[in-house]
Structure 1
Amino acid sequence: MSSERTEVQVRPGVESDLEALTDLYNHYVRETAITFDTAAFTPEERRPWLLSHPEDGPYRLKVAAAVDSQEILGYATSSPYRAKPAYATSVEVTVYVAPGAGGRGIGTLLYKALFDALAGEDLHRAYAGIARPNEASTRLHERFGFRYVGTYREVGRKFGRYWDVAWYEKDL
């Protein structure tokens, strides 16, 4: 992993990032309960996800990359909250930081860029679900003005146990 002094660029995600983004996400699929996906993806399986986040509009993908190496250090997305039309002004947001890149402010840089990009969109609220326990994610979301609204108890089963998901919301 790059040194802590690495300069970081936050930019829209592009198709050439697909393999690195898939590898990063698969780490969380295989090693953590942060995502409730249970099987790793191929880049080809993840392509529709990447393409569903264009450079404009309410559904964005922001990537943090090391300026010198272009190594992907994390990403943040805004995605549809639910499929029904009345939910169109709500988004679900998430952030993933590469293993070894935590504690360097990458998540903060990503969310700042994401929320700045969303500021001009016709959006009312952002929602985030945080599988418990995850204090780092809770702190990040609270720093960005998210407030706790409730917990779904034992809503997901992974690694042979049940996990709670705490839900947070933020006015946009």
Structure 2
Amino acid sequence: MSANAAGEPEIVIRDAGLDDLPTMAAIYDEQVGTSLATFDTEPRGAAYLGEKLASAGGSDIVLVARAGDEVLGYAYSGPFRPRPAYAGTKEVSVYLAVGARRRGLGRALYAELLARLDARPDVHTQVAVVALPNDASEALHRAVGFEQIGVLREVGHKFGRYVDTAWYQRMASGG
């Protein structure tokens, strides 16, 4: 394993594997209980992410960022809607462990995920949903080429209040 100049383990972004699921689930479930990054209200555990991993390699992608043995975050693409006419549109998300935020890791994960999606002729556009307010997530999405295309008012209800969501869209390179 290599290290950076500060002696910390190098961050590696790679396809997620079964051994990554427990830590990925812990990252997600922490977000369920503490933030609006997901509108789930109960922890989902590793089985939920196992379903995403099972569909990876086909039309979906699941990536993890690791430093040594530690999973710091993950990003994935999934179907936008189940109807065939939406097949060229992917919904994307990124989740980071508490200590891994605001270090550029979300941008690095998205860069790899979006590059892989851009390389596929069957993917035309990507969409992402951001609960509002969330300045950091909005800045991340703009930084990797998304533009806000609309806001749905009070469509979520979590932590005793109604929450707006902003929709972001990014056209695949050459799209």
Give the TM-score taking structure 1 as reference length: 0.91
Matched pairs, number: 166
Distance change >3 Å, CA 94–CA 4, structure 1 → 2: farther
Displacement of 1:145 in angstroms is 1.1
1:132 and 1:4 map into 2 onto residues whose CA distance is 37
2:25 and 2:7 map into 1 onto residues whose CA distance is 23
Query: Which runs of 5 or more structure 1 residues have no equivalent in the other structure?
Result: none
Q: Are 2:39 and 1:29 aligned?
A: no
Q: Secondary structure at the match of 1:30?
A: helix
Give the TM-score taking structure 2 as reference length: 0.90
Contact 2:32 2:42 in 1 (8 A): yes
Displacement of 1:75 in angstroms is 0.6
1:140 and 1:4 map into 2 onto residues whose CA distance is 27
Alignment of 1:54-69 (within 5 A): 54=57, 57-66=58-67, 69=68
Q: Name the structure 2 match of 1:120.
A: 119
Distance change >3 Å, CA 110–CA 128, structure 1 → 2: same
Q: Name the structure 2 match of 1:7.
A: 10
Alignment of 1:84-99 (within 5 A): 84-99=83-98
Distance change >3 Å, CA 94–CA 157, structure 1 → 2: same
Contact 2:52 2:62 in 1 (8 A): no
Contact 1:58 1:118 in 2 (8 A): no
The structure 2 residue matched to 1:43, chosen from 23, 46, 66, is 46
* Highest RCO, 1 vs 2 (Cα 8 Å, sep ≥ 6): 1
Q: Secondary structure at the match of 2:129?
A: strand
When the two chains are superposed, the root-mean-square deviation of aligned CA atoms in Å is 1.5
Q: Are 2:160 and 1:157 aligned?
A: no
Q: Name the structure 2 match of 1:167.
A: 167
